[in-house]
Amino acid sequence: MSRVLVVGAGLTGSLCAALLRKEITAPLYLALWDKAGDIGGRMITASSPHNPRCTADLGAQYITCSPHYVKEHQNFYEELLAEGILKPLTSPIEGMKGNEGDCNFVAPQGFSSVIKYYLKKSGAEVFLKHCVTQIHLKDNKWEVSTDTGSAEQFDLVILTMPAPQILKLQGDIVNLISERQREQLKSVSYSSRYALGLFYEVGMKIGVPWSCRYLSSHPCICFISIDNKKRNIESSECGPSVVIQTTVPFGVQHLEASEADVQKIMIQQLETILPGLPQPVATICHKWTYSQVTNSVCNRPGQMTLHLRPFLVCGGDGFTHSNFNGCISSALSVMKVLKRYI
């Protein structure tokens, strides 16, 4: 039985795992490792520590799909809509900019439900808090080590973490990355920002006419979501949840600050925009060091093959473009090259 490891429990990694299970008919052991404590990557959905049914999307807020991708990725959208994982965005968003023909979608149960759906389809064994630090070529297999010192061998490895994290890996992989590939990986850049989830008491109402609002000139906050309103969720068991995201300049300026200090500033700034909000019952602050891809690998190849036999390949939106469709395109590119060599 072939042993396959996917590194990264975001959209690209989970979809690669699901497509592998679907396309490869031979017996397959499939493992997925992620350094975080939860699945989702940049589509993570946080739960209130007081009530796990109260959730907030701290990463992706909604999906925008152009007419081109509605057609190209039709099967993926139809499946997720049929399963109730996605639904059309109908609530008002103030300041939203879009192009004619665009479709927008939300995830009623939060965007991590998309990841959970694909992981369930894959049958992969998921290991969280597994931070990959080294990859060695040993007996024609990949020996993959974590920061705890544990190591396992695999016949095939798919890396879907951000490009800077790939470049930090040690072991034989350092010499397997060509100079040209190294320069391409170094060329990938990301924006940085913070997101703050605020959870409120049951019965509390936030009296604004919008579900989300973009702020074009605020020095700290660029986006506010009344998250349950955005997803059209009304529940007598959950209070409202609010997500605020900072501007990129603020994120870069405070990248080395403590999350507690950043959270204090964000709450103070929110008070100037929505005065009179009561104290939340819980808060979760998240630093996105790698928020969105601002510059991807030249020509957007969708993947980067580092070694053929045994197979080692990189994927993710750093090889396409930074959104839901970019991740789907990358997963499809990874699968295309995999099927050629397996």
**What pLDDT does 234 receive?**
80
Half-sphere exposure (Cβ direction) of 264: Cα atoms closer than 13 Å: 4
Q: What is the mean pLDDT of the chain?
A: 96
CA distance 100 to 304: 33
The verdict on 146 and 281 lying in the same domain is no
**What pLDDT does 299 receive?**
92
Domain presence at residue 231 = yes
Domain presence at residue 220 = yes
Nearest to 5 by CA among 168, 113, 150: 150
Domain presence at residue 260 = yes
Q: What is the average pLDDT across 148-168?
A: 97
Q: Does the structure show a pLDDT above 90 at 46?
A: yes
Phi-psi domain of 41 (left: phi exceeds 0; alpha: psi -120 through 50; beta: other): left
The verdict on 220 and 272 lying in the same domain is yes
Domain presence at residue 64 = no
Distance (Å) of CA 332 to CA 79, 209, 303: 16, 40, 9
- 287-325: pLDDT as tens digits: 999 999 999 999 999 999 999 999 999 999 999 999 999
Number of Cβ within a 10 Å radius of residue 176: 13
CA distance 341 to 311: 8
**What pLDDT does 163 receive?**
98
> What are the tokens at 237?
């068991």
Compute the chain's Rg from CA coordinates.
Answer: 20
The verdict on 274 and 329 lying in the same domain is no
Domain presence at residue 75 = no
Q: Does the structure show a pLDDT above 80 at 342?
A: no
Domain presence at residue 223 = yes
Domain count, the chain: 2
The CATH number of whichever domain residue 31 belongs to comes to 3.50.50.60
Q: Which residue segment(s) compose the domain that 136 sits in? A: 1-37+128-187+299-341
The verdict on 219 and 331 lying in the same domain is no
**What pLDDT does 289 receive?**
97
Who contacts 186 (Cβ-Cβ below 8 Å, separation ≥6)? 163, 167
SS3 81: helix
Domain presence at residue 305 = yes
Nearest to 167 by CA among 135, 130, 127: 135
CA distance 215 to 42: 21
The verdict on 180 and 288 lying in the same domain is no
The CATH number of whichever domain residue 277 belongs to comes to 3.90.660.10
Q: What is the average pLDDT across 171-185?
A: 97
The verdict on 194 and 285 lying in the same domain is yes
The verdict on 285 and 197 lying in the same domain is yes
> What are the tokens at 248?
């990129």
- 224-261: pLDDT as tens digits: 999 999 999 888 889 999 999 999 999 999 999 999 99
- What DSSP character marks residue 95? T
Distance (Å) of CA 342 to CA 91, 154, 195, 336, 337: 46, 14, 41, 10, 9
Residue 118 pLDDT class (50, 70, 90 cuts): very high
Distance (Å) of CA 127 to CA 31, 32, 101, 169, 294: 8, 6, 40, 19, 29
The verdict on 133 and 281 lying in the same domain is no
The verdict on 253 and 241 lying in the same domain is yes
Chosen domain end from 294, 310, 328: 294
Output the pTM of the full model.
Answer: 0.96
The verdict on 309 and 177 lying in the same domain is yes
192, 200 in Cβ contact below 8 A? no
The verdict on 32 and 141 lying in the same domain is yes
CA distance 36 to 120: 19
301, 317 in Cβ contact below 8 A? no
The verdict on 155 and 303 lying in the same domain is yes
Domain presence at residue 78 = no
